[in-house]
């Protein structure tokens, strides 16, 4: 497997990271070296093996359906880049 | 004083030989003096530190002191601490002042421990050298041209240089154990789920685990007592009875006694941990340590971990996949960095993230995005999760034949700053012996066991003698026993007491 320049740019866009042509070319070679290392995974037969997400194969805990959060919007919005009238401001998305 | 253990400092505080304010001031002065050379800290706030120390002294005066009351502890800058800047080594969070405490900070604070400052680290804990920090590289106290390891490199360097009696770290693929080894200190990654991840900036959530770094196994036990515990706010936190991790320090095995405290202990040596790529000096130091453990009564048996050579490849699918998902929260909307100039919303995201993340973090997000993208899930993430199961089964089979697995923590001693930054795959292979424990969720411990020659040859500009770490990987929840084994080794040897040259006396 070898990634082309267009593919690197497509992935970068999916990841919402701006890259120019020079950056994409530089990162492509490093990514290809990493994927060559990752390809060693194909050397083993994993048919019938149960995938493992948690060492104790834990089920997610359930809790009572009740409000546990307190109102801390003032503290949280104090550190936001742009806030107005208790709302986070972003560029317009609906014309 | 600077070489005293946490329990010795605790006794001095209890005996009123010194106050917590005096103790915190001593270490703050040392940190300030060492900061230009080592860069082990990102944020210091002496006013807050001394206020906490003062509160600890008052608490002691009221007769409410515990073993950690008044003990200054340095924290990896991945833990949110209310009112403290919490950067995770990134430009993305360079302006982030946390509005809340992580569980670990909350718990240590409740025990009366004092926050000494926030330690430098690889950006978002992605690295093995502490070179990817936005705030510049950390330097190894044993040699200024060498890396301290990573990602908890600032924490390890702080303990090694005696800038803090103990420190917190996190370990996703070796980030506590490898820097502990390279800096000549002790470090423990507990069983996954023992220390709450609440308030720890997320990297790879199914692998991330917090733990302590200190000068000795006995100190790690005391620190873990202050960090571990069930927390409902971490969905993977394990609801288990509270443990005293110091309880087996003096007799880790019922079969042991007198000069043979480790009689009956079976140490498994995985042949895969002693093969190609292991530096001869590191191998020799580890062999000598195994000899000492045998003198203390242990026996060694060869064990097989046949899937271990697939651990690094599987890790570099799972960790980046989870990172790409976790780090999608950094969008310039609610907190952290936002680009100055942008057009529409997508452009704001793209520029914010291009500016806020460093090269290694971007690479890992790109790997993760790719392996999770349409059509690739089965070939990458699912296959890696299956390999993870095989690795856990390898260990389960090994633990039928032995009580604990031992080997080197890292294949080499500390390398020179810049030596591996151009080749990510070479950097990743540093963690070849530590990653399997993360994938299996098992506890891992690194303790100092000797020295090896660094790069170059003395006296012509080489890096001299650098520390070697001995790693133990134990079965689930065997932390207390592992710490007991390590404590017995440290009673019989003095590697853990060695400090960099200029700190002697």
Residue B456: pLDDT band by 50, 70, 90 thresholds? low
Residue A93: pLDDT band by 50, 70, 90 thresholds? confident
Residue B461: pLDDT band by 50, 70, 90 thresholds? low
The answer to whether the Cβ–Cβ distance between A55 and B313 falls below 8 Å is no
CA distance linking residue B157 with residue B38, whole number of Å? 8
**Chain B residue numbers touching A94 (CB-CB < 8 A):** none
CB atoms within 10 A of CB B174: 32
Using DSSP bridges, classify how beta strands B114-119 and B186-189 pair: parallel, antiparallel or unpaired. unpaired
Residue B36: strand, helix, or coil: helix
Q: Could you tell me if B360 and B88 are in contact, meaning their C-beta atoms sit under 8 angstroms apart? A: no
Distances in Å between the Cα of B318 and the Cα atoms of A87, A89, B185, B204, B359 are 36, 34, 29, 8, 19
Using DSSP bridges, classify how beta strands B186-189 and B444-453 pair: parallel, antiparallel or unpaired. antiparallel
Tens of pLDDT, residue by residue over B238-286, are 999 999 999 999 999 989 888 999 999 999 999 999 998 999 999 999 9
Q: Is the pLDDT of residue B434 over 80?
A: yes
Burial class of residue A87 (count of CB atoms within 10 Å of its CB; 0-12, 13-18, 19+): exposed
Q: Which residue has the tokens 């873990």?
A: B224
- To probe the interface with B, which of A7, A35, A81, A88 has the most B CB atoms within 10 Å? A81
- To probe the interface with A, which of B192, B306, B366 has the most A CB atoms within 10 Å? B366
Residue B346 tokens, joined = 């997508």
Q: Is the pLDDT of residue B171 over 50?
A: yes
Torsion of Cα atoms, B47 then B49 then B51 then B55, to 10°: 180
Cα of B199 to nearest chain A Cα, Å: 14
- Those of residues 320-379 in B touching chain A at CB distance below 8 A are 324, 328, 331-338, 342-351, 353-354, 357, 359, 362-363, 365-367, 369-370, 373
Chain B residue at shortest CA distance from A95 = B344
Residue B405 tokens, joined = 């697995």
The answer to whether the Cβ–Cβ distance between A38 and B313 falls below 8 Å is yes
Residue B83: pLDDT band by 50, 70, 90 thresholds? very high
How confident is the prediction for chain B on average, in pLDDT?
96
Q: Is the pLDDT of residue B488 over 70?
A: yes
Q: Is the pLDDT of residue B131 over 80?
A: yes
Q: Is the pLDDT of residue B505 over 80?
A: no
**Chain A residue numbers touching B99 (CB-CB < 8 A):** 72, 75-76, 78-79
* pLDDT given for residue B502 in this prediction: 60
Q: Which residue has the tokens 């370990």?
A: B171
Residue A27 has its nearest CB partner, among B96, B333, B363, at B363
* B29 in contact with chain A, both atoms CB, cutoff 8 A: no
CA-based nearest residue to A82, from B486, B342, B200, B393: B342
Q: Could you tell me if A40 and B309 are in contact, meaning their C-beta atoms sit under 8 angstroms apart? A: yes
**DSSP 8-state class, residue B465:** E
Distances in Å between the Cα of B28 and the Cα atoms of B108, B117, B122 are 19, 9, 23
Q: What is the CATH number of domain A5-43?
A: 1.10.20
CA-based nearest residue to A39, from B469, B383, B448: B383
ω into B459 cis (within 30 of 0): yes
The answer to whether the Cβ–Cβ distance between B313 and A41 falls below 8 Å is yes
Residue B366 has its nearest CB partner, among A27, A60, A79, at A27
Q: What are φ and ψ of residue A22, in 5° steps?
A: -65, -45
- Cα–Cα–Cα angle for B124, B106, B63, rounded to 5 degrees: 145
Q: Could you tell me if B466 and B452 are in contact, meaning their C-beta atoms sit under 8 angstroms apart? A: yes
Q: In three state form, how does the secondary structure of B249-291 look?
A: CCCCCCCCECCECCCCCEEEEEHHHHCCCCCHHHHHHHHHHHH
Cα of A18 to nearest chain B Cα, Å: 5
Q: Could you tell me if B72 and B27 are in contact, meaning their C-beta atoms sit under 8 angstroms apart? A: yes
Residue B310 has its nearest CB partner, among A11, A31, A41, at A41
Q: Where in chain A are the domains? A: 5-43
Residue B166: strand, helix, or coil: strand
Chain A residue at shortest CA distance from B475 = A55
**Chain B residue numbers touching A41 (CB-CB < 8 A):** 310, 313-314, 317, 380, 383-384, 387
Taking the mean position of all CA atoms in its chain, how far away is CA B4?
Answer: 21
For chain B, percent of residues with pLDDT exceeding 90: 95
Sign of CA dihedral B45, B157, B165, B198: positive
Kind plus residue range of the DSSP H or E element containing B48: helix B46-61
Average pLDDT of span B232-243:
94
Q: Where in chain B are the domains? A: 6-231+242-313+380-500
Q: Is the pLDDT of residue B460 over 50?
A: no
* pLDDT given for residue A27 in this prediction: 96
Sign of CA dihedral B144, B145, B149, B150: positive
- To probe the interface with A, which of B339, B351, B386 has the most A CB atoms within 10 Å? B386
CA-based nearest residue to B414, from B134, B136, B36, B142: B142
CA-based nearest residue to B206, from B439, B463, B471: B439
* B385 in contact with chain A, both atoms CB, cutoff 8 A: yes
**Chain A residue numbers touching B424 (CB-CB < 8 A):** 30, 33-34
CA distance linking residue A57 with residue B322, whole number of Å? 18
CA distance linking residue B339 with residue B351, whole number of Å? 6
Please list, in sequence order, all residues whose beta carbon lies within 8 angstroms of the beta carbon of residue B82, skipping any fewer than 6 positions away.
B98, B99, B100, B101, B105
Phi-psi region of B258 (alpha: psi -120 to 50; beta: other; left: phi over 0): left
Whole-structure pTM value: 0.97
CA distance linking residue B395 with residue B436, whole number of Å? 9
* pLDDT given for residue B207 in this prediction: 97
Catalytic residues of B: 76, 151, 175
CA-based nearest residue to B113, from B164, B43, B178: B164
- Those of residues 27-86 in A touching chain B at CB distance below 8 A are 27, 30-31, 33-35, 37-44, 46, 49-56, 58, 60-61, 63, 72, 75-76, 78-82
CA-based nearest residue to B171, from B157, B147, B191: B191
Tens of pLDDT, residue by residue over B366-400, are 999 999 998 999 999 999 999 999 999 999 999 99
The answer to whether the Cβ–Cβ distance between B373 and A61 falls below 8 Å is no
Residue B503: pLDDT band by 50, 70, 90 thresholds? low
Chain B residue at shortest CA distance from A62 = B235
Distances in Å between the Cα of B490 and the Cα atoms of B176, B255, B339, B382, B495 are 19, 19, 51, 42, 8
Question: What is the number of alpha carbons within 13 Å of residue A67 lying toward its C-beta?
Answer: 3
Cα of A24 to nearest chain B Cα, Å: 10
Residue B451 tokens, joined = 């020295």
CA distance linking residue B489 with residue B478, whole number of Å? 17
Instruction: Say whether domain B6-231+242-313+380-500 belongs to CATH 3.90.1300.10.
Output: yes
Using DSSP bridges, classify how beta strands B404-408 and B266-270 pair: parallel, antiparallel or unpaired. parallel
Provide ipTM, 2 decimals: 0.96
**Chain B residue numbers touching A78 (CB-CB < 8 A):** 99
The answer to whether the Cβ–Cβ distance between A78 and B192 falls below 8 Å is no
Tens of pLDDT, residue by residue over B311-331, are 999 999 999 999 999 999 999
Cα of A28 to nearest chain B Cα, Å: 9
* pLDDT given for residue B188 in this prediction: 98
Q: Is the pLDDT of residue B459 over 70?
A: no
* pLDDT given for residue B282 in this prediction: 97
CA distance linking residue B370 with residue B332, whole number of Å? 23
């Amino acid at each position: 497997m070898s990634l082309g320049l267009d593919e690197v740019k497509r992935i970068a866009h999916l990841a919402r990271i701006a890259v120019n042509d020079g950056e994409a070319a530089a990162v492509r070679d490093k990514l290809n070296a990493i994927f060559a290392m990752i390809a060693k995974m194909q050397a083993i037969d994993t048919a019938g093996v149960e995938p493992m997400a948690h060492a104790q194969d834990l089920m997610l805990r359930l809790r009572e359906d009740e409000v546990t959060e307190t109102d801390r919007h003032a503290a949280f919005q104090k550190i936001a880049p742009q806030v107005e009238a208790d709302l986070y401001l972003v560029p317009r998305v609906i014309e | 004083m600077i070489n005293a253990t946490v329990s010795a400092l605790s006794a001095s505080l209890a005996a009123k030989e010194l106050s917590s304010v005096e103790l915190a001031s001593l270490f703050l002065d040392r940190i300030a003096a060492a900061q230009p050379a080592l860069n082990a800290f990102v944020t210091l706030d002496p006013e807050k530190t001394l206020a906490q120390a003062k509160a600890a002294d008052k608490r002691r005066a009221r007769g409410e002191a515990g073993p950690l009351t008044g003990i200054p502890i340095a924290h990896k800058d991945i833990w949110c601490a209310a009112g403290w800047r919490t950067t995770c080594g990134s430009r993305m969070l360079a302006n982030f002042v946390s509005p809340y405490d992580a569980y670990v900070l909350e718990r240590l604070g409740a025990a009366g421990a004092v926050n000494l400052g926030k330690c430098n680290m690889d950006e978002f804990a992605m690295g093995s050298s502490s070179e990817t920090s936005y705030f510049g590289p950390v330097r190894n106290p044993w040699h200024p041209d060498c890396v301290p390891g990573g990602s908890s490199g600032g924490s390890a360097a702080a303990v090694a240089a005696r800038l803090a009696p103990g420190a917190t770290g996190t370990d996703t693929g070796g980030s506590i154990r490898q820097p502990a080894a390279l800096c000549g200190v002790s470090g423990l990654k507990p069983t996954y789920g023992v220390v709450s991840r609440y308030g720890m900036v997320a990297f790879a959530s199914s692998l991330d685990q917090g733990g302590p770094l200190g000068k000795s196994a006995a100190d790690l036990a005391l620190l873990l007592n202050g960090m571990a515990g069930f927390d409902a706010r971490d969905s993977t936190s394990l609801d288990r009875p509270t443990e005293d991790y110091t309880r087996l320090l003096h007799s880790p095995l019922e079969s042991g006694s007198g000069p043979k405290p480790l009689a009956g202990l079976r140490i498994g040596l995985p042949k895969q941990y002693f093969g190609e790529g292991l530096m001869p000096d590191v191998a020799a130091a580890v062999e000598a340590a195994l000899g000492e453990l045998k003198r203390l009564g242990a026996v060694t048996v060869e064990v097989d971990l046949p899937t271990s050579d697939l651990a690094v490849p599987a890790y570099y699918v799972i960790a980046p996949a989870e990172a790409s998902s976790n780090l999608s929260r950094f969008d310039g909307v609610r907190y952290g960095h936002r680009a100055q100039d942008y057009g529409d919303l997508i452009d704001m995201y793209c520029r914010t993230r291009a500016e806020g993340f460093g090269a290694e973090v971007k690479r890992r997000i790109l790997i993760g995005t790719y392996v999770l993208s349409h059509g690739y899930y089965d070939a990458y993430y699912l296959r890696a999760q299956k390999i993870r199961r095989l690795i856990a089964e390898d260990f389960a089979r090994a633990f039928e034949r032995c009580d604990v697995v031992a080997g080197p923590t890292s294949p080499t001693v500390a390398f020179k700053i810049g030596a591996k930054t151009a080749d990510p795959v070479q950097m990743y292979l540093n963690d070849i012996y530590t990653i399997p424990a993360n994938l299996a969720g098992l506890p891992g411990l690194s303790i100092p066991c000797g020295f090896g020659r660094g790069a170059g040859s003395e006296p012509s500009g080489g890096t001299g003698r650098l520390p070697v770490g001995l790693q133990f990987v134990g079965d689930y929840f065997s932390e207390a026993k592992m710490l007991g084994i390590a404590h017995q080794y440290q009673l019989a040897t003095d590697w853990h007491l060695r400090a960099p040259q200029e700190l002697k006396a």
